[in-house]
Structure 1
Amino acid sequence: MYTLQEQKVIMFDTGQVLADEKGLIRARYSRDFLHLNKVGYEALNGKLVEILKALMSIKPTNEV
């Protein structure tokens, strides 16, 4: 996960979850290598839940 902390931007590299060693989407996650199937969304959602839980555990600052 990459952050632009000062701008409060988070970028999630979905390739870490969905891609194989060649950088291509794994066949089990997509029938046409473009659109995710149910298994692909489940894998992606699982990682997103981890990230969101981690972010929700961070105490907010008074910075605006």
Structure 2
Amino acid sequence: MQLRDYLPKTLFGRMLSIILIPMILVQVITVFIFYERHWDTVTRHMAEQLAADISLLA
């Protein structure tokens, strides 16, 4: 199997792959960065709140 077997043969298929593949990659990367930063922010906020609750009890 060569790479040529997987590439689109028609002009429409090539046009779709040129337009859609970069758009999908940008969306996947953007979503990954957003969720990674959001998870980090939520984790930091919850850790601060837990520390505040523990200091209130102690």
- Shorter-chain TM band: 0.3 to 0.5
* Higher helix proportion: 2
* Higher strand proportion: 1
Instruction: Point out which structure has higher relative CO (alpha carbons under 8 A, 6+ apart).
Output: 1
TM-score of the pair, normalised by structure 2:
0.38
